[in-house]
Amino acid sequence: MKRTVVILLLLCTLLVSCVHQNNGIDHSVSNGGERDGSGGGTATSPEEGSVDSYLDVVCYPVKDYGTFLVGSQDDTDVLSLQLPSSWVLTQKDSSYVISSERGEIGMIFPGVVEDAASWEPARTEKYKPTMTVSVNKIIEKRIGGSGFRHRFVFTYRSNNGERTVTLTSNYAEADSNTQRTIWLGADTKQLRTDPKIGIISAPSAKKSVLILGNSFIRTSNIGNILQEMCNKNGKTCTVTAYSRGYANIGTYSSDTSIINSIKAKNYGAVFICGCYSSTGDQANNYGTLREACNTAGIPLILFPAHNESPEIINEIRKKYPDDLFLNWREEINTLISKKGIGVSSFCINDEHNHSTPLAGYVGAHMIYRAIFGAVPKKYTSDVFDSASYYATLGDYVTKPAIVFDGKATVYYFDFK
């Protein structure tokens, strides 16, 4: 008899435990996240039944996740999301319907508005998983009715400025693990390089250019190449290039004749190389040149040569994130790694791997398209071996965006 009572008590305990689990009540908190119903077993969507709290909703289990890319077709950088692999995105007007085996479960769309007026927030959290993405995670309750849902608002930085994308889904479609995967896994992905056509809008830049650097300016012959490129394309821009051995940014920021010449508006734009030596010093030295250019009302463009320090480049960019930037260094590296052009085509085999005139042509091409808002036409050069250079660079000469992943599936939006 006692044995029978004990067995019955055990069965009752197990039954209560299963009911509690299926009610989806989870009192744990991790990563600053909310307590949410994320129990196992068969769930009932909150859209199909009446529940008083999202804590009482049982969520469908997710087996695995996949990478979904969304963004603008005009951008080189798109938003990368980790979503359940079972989710299917189908375009509808300017948005995408999210479906699973249970039918339509949500939407993903550009911006933040959509049908938010029909819902009220029950809980809101913010997170910044990467330097380029921030996320608002909101649990919403239907106004004047039953049901809960998730709203994720992703704000990310593309090469064309800030973008916002919103994802909504039925609450039961994302348990606590899925929620964390979505908001912690958000990132950006660069699909191709940005040719930065026309980013230098100052009219003065079209009249005259000053390039400040060291021996890499001399060996690459960028000054003469850019001057000829302007002449052959019918531009009346005057190019001046200074090449001083072992120069860094401080070499020019401490040169009063250079500073005074800039302030006197003798140049329409200044391109500065020389990210070497102490990080803090170079950031401050860049600031000195920046003040001189501001006094003259002309743009200063950070333009690192091929062997410059990425740490110092990043330090300057961190201090002045909105300043103009043409990464000559990285353009050469990308042509080597992504287009398979040999290092010897861009680098002289000497102690410092000085840049060749082919690297100079690439740098001149970058400056030209940034200033004049167009890709320079091909021409027969008196300065470099144009036939050989065009053959080596291939379609880069006329289509300077370098594709990283041509097979990626991207769900494109029309951001207005």
Structure confidence by residue, pLDDT tens digits, 226-258: 999 999 999 999 999 999 999 999 999 999 999
pLDDT in the model for residue 146:
82
Same domain, 181 and 252: no
Structure confidence by residue, pLDDT tens digits, 270-326: 999 999 988 889 999 999 999 999 999 999 999 999 999 999 999 999 999 999 999
Same domain, 308 and 273: yes
Same domain, 351 and 392: yes
Q: What is the mean pLDDT of residues 117-142?
A: 93
Q: Which domain holds residue 373?
A: 203-397
Same domain, 142 and 287: no
Which among 235, 271, 269 is positioned nearest to 377, based on CA atoms? 235
Same domain, 181 and 74: yes
Same domain, 339 and 315: yes
Mean pLDDT of the chain: 88
pTM for the predicted model, two decimal places: 0.76
Of 171, 194, 217, which marks where a domain is finished?
Answer: 194
Q: Is residue 44 in some structural domain?
A: no
Q: Is residue 4 in some structural domain?
A: no
The C-alpha atoms of residue 186 and residue 128 are separated, in whole angstroms, by 9
Same domain, 134 and 60: yes
Same domain, 308 and 211: yes
Q: Write out the DSSP string of 258-320.
A: HHHHHHTT--S-EEE----S-HHHHHHHHHHHHHHHHHHT--EEE---TT--HHHHHHHHHHS
* 261, 230 contact by CB (below 8 A): no
The C-alpha atoms of residue 377 and residue 234 are separated, in whole angstroms, by 10
**Pick from 4-18, 107-121, 215-229: least confident:** 4-18
- With cut-offs at 50, 70 and 90, classify the pLDDT of residue 381: very high
pLDDT in the model for residue 253:
98
Same domain, 211 and 315: yes
State the total domains in the chain: 2
Structure confidence by residue, pLDDT tens digits, 75-112: 999 999 999 999 999 999 999 999 999 999 999 999 99
Q: What H or E segment, with its residue span, contains residue 118?
A: none
Same domain, 145 and 227: no
274: Cα separation from own chain's centroid: 25
Whether the per-residue pLDDT at 37 is higher than 70: the answer is no
Same domain, 300 and 178: no
pLDDT in the model for residue 126:
95
pLDDT in the model for residue 3:
46
CATH of the domain at 174: 3.40.1000.10
What residues contact 335, with CB distance under 8 A and at least 6 apart?
341, 346, 362, 393, 396, 402
Same domain, 257 and 364: yes
CATH of the domain at 375: 3.40.50.1110
